[in-house]
Amino acid sequence: MKVKHSIIINCPIDEVFAFVTDLHNETRWQPEIKSVTLEGPLQTGSSFREIRVTFGRTYDWHFRITEFDPPHRITIDTINGTARYRGSRIFKAVEGGTKVTEIGELETPRFLYMFNPLFSQLSQRPLRRAYCRLKRLLEDQDSLV
């Protein structure tokens, strides 16, 4: 199952990248994420654990950061979790702000392949909501305090 979403945030790329890649902020803009624990400094090779509730189920994921290129990209890959997920957040300076694009792929079991289009569609709504929330948080500077 593949996901992709982009949004323009009216803030400088360095500011957007810093906020998004501070994993402690994940719970502030992604309501499905309940906790994130980073093991070591944020860099290529670091790992983190994420507890998330999606569609009423709790998932415990352990990820490794496979690419960390400030302020342009962060890429993660599953170390341990319900299913394998690989994804990137790509940051691009644009006129008036920053374009953030999330692309990812969740490997589903073979017997569920036929449902991938449905799963992909169902995942878009919470993804859009999360990025709209991120945009509001970053564009309303008072909320960052």
pLDDT value for 127: 84
Contact partners, residue 88, CB within 8 Å, separation at least 6? 67, 73, 74, 75, 76, 102, 103, 104
Note the pTM of the prediction, 2 decimals. Answer: 0.86
Q: Which CATH architecture has domain 2-140?
A: 2-Layer Sandwich (3.30)
What is the pLDDT averaged over residues 39-47?
94
pLDDT value for 122: 57
Given a contact cutoff of 8 angstroms between Cβ atoms, the answer to whether 39 and 54 are in contact is: no
Given a contact cutoff of 8 angstroms between Cβ atoms, the answer to whether 117 and 2 are in contact is: no
What is the pLDDT averaged over residues 55-63?
89
Q: Where are the domains of the chain?
A: 2-140
Q: In what order do the strands lie in the sheet with 85-94?
A: 2-9, 97-106, 85-94, 73-80, 57-69, 47-54, 33-39
pLDDT value for 145: 47
Mean pLDDT for the chain? 88
